[in-house]
Amino acid sequence: MTEAPQPIEVLLVEDDPGDVLLTVEAFEHNKVRNTLHVVNDGEQAMAFLRQEGEYADVPRPDLVLLDLNLPRKDGREVLGEIKADTDLRAIPVVILTTSEAEEDILRSYHLHANAYVTKPVDFDQFISVVRRIDDFFVTVVKLPR
């Protein structure tokens, strides 16, 4: 008998309140047991990941869902900093963005994104995408703990 996957800590870095709500609803709809933490800009993301300031007591994320177009520090900069930091680079980063631009896709993979997913506009499709990301990173792959 296969044991149930352990819940993981997910950090959503997203500045659009509507997309945050959609992601939260998708987690709830899919009955995802993972803990979803949300920050709204790139500087907060790096403080969360480095457990600095108000984020000193947060758990280390097992997975980051990262939007590219963020205030204060954009997602490309955040991705570059994560993958350049020896303490953070093992955390998988999934780019979850509205951009379908080939330049964004190539640059994200050049910066060592683990996956690039374009956000569907349709709610049901969005839920399906979040479920598939969750299934893959929780059920299929082994994450460093």
In order of their start, the domains of the chain are: 15-137 (3.40.50.2300)
Q: What confidence tens digit (pLDDT) does each residue in 29-41 have?
A: 766 577 889 999 9
The pTM is what? Answer: 0.90
Q: What is the pLDDT of residue 23?
A: 85
First to last CA, the chain: 23
CA-nearest of 134, 141, 84, 77 to 108 is 77
Which residue ranges in the chain fall short of pLDDT 70? 1-5, 30-32, 141-145
